[in-house]
Amino acid sequence: MRTDMTTQTLSAQTLPTTRTGGNEATAQVVDPLPVPYRVIRDIVEAALAEDNPTGDLTGNVLIPADATATADVVAREPGTLSGLAVFEAAMTLTDPATAVTSALADGRAFAAGDVLATVTGSARAVLAGERVGLNLLQRLSGIATQTRAYVDAAAGTNTRIADTRKTTPGLRALERYAVRCGGGHNHRGTLSEAVMAKDNHLALLGTGDDLTRALRAARARLGHTVHFEVEIDSLDQLDAVLAAGVDTIMLDNFSLADLATGVRRIAGAALVEASGNVRLDTVADIAATGVDVISSGSLTHSVRALDLGLDVRITDGRARVGGRTGTGEPR
What is the tens place of the pLDDT at every residue in 280-314? 999 999 999 999 999 999 999 999 999 999 999 98
Q: Chain-centre distance of CA 106, in angstroms?
A: 12
Domain extent for 112: 11-150+304-324
Kindly name the residue from 198, 213, 265, 313 that is annotated as catalytic.
198
**Residue 120 and residue 221 in one domain:** no
Residue 219 per-residue DSSP state: H
3 within domain boundaries: no
Shared domain for 162 and 281, answered yes or no, is yes
Whether residues 55 and 75 share a domain: the answer is yes
Q: What percent of the chain has a predicted confidence (pLDDT) above 70? A: 87
User: Within this chain, do residues 118 and 162 fall inside the same structural domain, yes or no?
Assistant: no
Whether 315 and 288 map to the same domain: the answer is no
Asked whether residue 109 is domain-assigned, the answer is yes
Q: What is the CATH number of the domain that holds 193?
A: 3.20.20.70
pLDDT in tens, 92-131: 999 999 999 999 999 999 999 999 999 999 999 999 999 9
Across the range 6-27, mean pLDDT stands at 37
Co-location of 199 and 94 in the same domain:
no
Residue 5 belongs to some domain of the structure: no
Please tell me whether residues 288 and 162 are part of one structural domain: yes
In a domain, 146, yes or no: yes
Name the domain count of the chain: 2
- Catalytic-labelled residue, pool 19, 41, 76, 166: 166
Are 140 and 15 members of one domain?
yes
Are 108 and 29 contacting, i.e. CB atoms less than 8 angstroms apart? Answer: yes
CA distance 85 to 91: 10
Q: Answer yes or no: is pLDDT of 323 > 60.
A: no
Burial class (CB in 10 A: 0-12, 13-18, 19+), 73: buried
**pLDDT value at 24 more than 70:** no
| 252-273 confidence digits (pLDDT tens) | 999 999 999 999 999 999 999 9
* Active-site annotation holder among 88, 130, 231, 292: 231
Give me the DSSP letters along 279-329.
-TTTHHHHHTTT-SEEE-THHHHTPPPP-EEEEEEEEESS---EEEE-TT-
pLDDT at residue 2 greater than cutoff 90:
no
* Residue 231 bears catalytic tag: yes
- Hey, is 68 helix, strand or coil? strand
Q: 10: pLDDT confidence band, cut at 50, 70 and 90? A: very low
Strands 160-162 and 195-197, by their bridges, are unpaired
Q: Is residue 297 part of a domain?
A: yes
- Establish whether 236 is a catalytic residue: no
Q: Are 123 and 239 within one domain?
A: no
Does the active-site annotation cover 252? yes
Q: Is residue 198 flagged as an active site residue? A: yes
* CATH number of the domain that residue 62 is part of: 3.90.1170.20
For residue 172, tell me if it sits in a domain: yes
Q: Is the pTM of this model over 0.85?
A: yes
Q: Using CA atoms, how far apart are residues 123 and 64, in angstroms rounded to an integer? A: 8
Is the pLDDT reported for residue 20 higher than 50? no
| Catalytic choice (233, 252, 307, 311) | 252
Q: Are residues 80 and 167 in the same domain?
A: no
Q: How confident is the model at residue 327 (pLDDT cuts 50, 70, 90)?
A: low
Choosing from 124, 131, 148, 172, which is the catalytic residue? 131
* Residue 136 one-letter amino acid: L
Peptide bond into 64 cis (omega under 30): no
Residues 146 and 162 in one domain: no
What is the DSSP code string of 98-114? -EEEESS-TT-EE-TT-
User: Residue 329 falls within a domain, yes or no?
Assistant: no
Query: What are the CA-CA distances from residue 76 to residues 85, 109, 114, 154, 307 (Å)?
Result: 20, 13, 8, 27, 5
Residues 111 and 230 in one domain: no
Instruction: Respond yes or no: is residue 311 known to be catalytic.
Output: no
170 within some domain? yes
